[in-house]
Amino acid sequence: MLFRQLFDKITSTYTYLIADTKTKNAALVDAVLEQVPRDLQVLQQLGLTLRYSIETHIHADHITGAQKLQEATGCLKILPEHASVNCADKKIKDGEILHLDSVEIKAIATPGHTDSHMSYLLNNEKVLTGDALLILGCGRTDFQSGDAGALFDSVTQKLFTLPDTTLVYPAHDYQGLTVSTIGEEKLYNPRFYGHNRNSFIELMNNLNLPFPQQMPVAVPANETCGSHK
């Protein structure tokens, strides 16, 4: 498996490139509109054919590059099963496996940050956690049908049951951290360690964070897979 972590500085978003090293078939997870030229260049440099553009959820802080990638490559747009969009070529269900030749991309429903959030387990060794589980943090739950109790259940019952050695790759990081493990997050993540469900809900309900600057533009755009320019 070829695996690359790409970064958008403005929104602190990670985009993940996954490919089968033999067939050169590839997928991008959580592409950012402004970074599509970079992504296409990387694909070309590595001789890859983009088959899928995959989303963990409907983002509020950036516009997805999915539509632009499809126009350039013919890739399929893959979104979580319960995402309220009509632009997906395929909606992936909890437990469903998307095969990229030798690479298995298993969808794990992890709602809470939004009501249709998916994480993706790659060959049982890496997990792309979107905004459900961040490095020493987690996504907010105060808009887009977020639910703190659901997020606690998703992380503790779905993600924290993966092997401790599973590598954690989130959709964002604001401190320059790039990767963690399930074992580290269970021990050191202050949003979860030492908390029960009720105390986690109380914590999340009192964060009082400002809304993302791009939210009024990003959410409607992402509901059409980034198709309006």
pLDDT digits (tens, 9 = 90+) for 195-205: 999 999 999 99
| One-letter identity of residue 53 | S
* Nearest residue to 168 via CA among 192, 143, 195: 192
How many CB atoms lie under 10 A from the CB of residue 169? 23
Q: Which residues, at least 6 apart from 41, have a Cβ–Cβ distance to it below 8 Å?
A: none
Q: How far apart are CA 79 and CA 82, in angstroms?
A: 8
Strand order in the sheet with 97-100: 97-100, 103-109, 118-122, 126-130, 167-170, 180-181
* Three-state SS at 9: coil
pLDDT recorded at residue 227 = 85
CA–chain centroid gap for 95, Å, is 16
Q: What are phi and psi of 117, to 5 degrees?
A: -80, 140
Paired residues of 128 in beta bridges: 120, 169
Q: What is the pLDDT of residues 135-164, one digit of tens each?
A: 999 999 999 999 999 999 999 999 999 999
For the entire predicted model, the pTM comes to: 0.97
- For residue 215, what pLDDT is reported? 94
- Each residue's pLDDT expressed in tens, for the chain with a length of 229 residues: 999 999 999 999 999 999 999 999 999 999 999 999 999 999 999 999 999 999 999 999 999 999 999 999 999 999 999 999 999 999 999 999 999 999 999 999 999 999 999 999 999 999 999 999 999 999 999 999 999 999 999 999 999 999 999 999 999 999 999 999 999 999 999 999 999 999 999 999 999 999 999 999 999 999 999 985 4
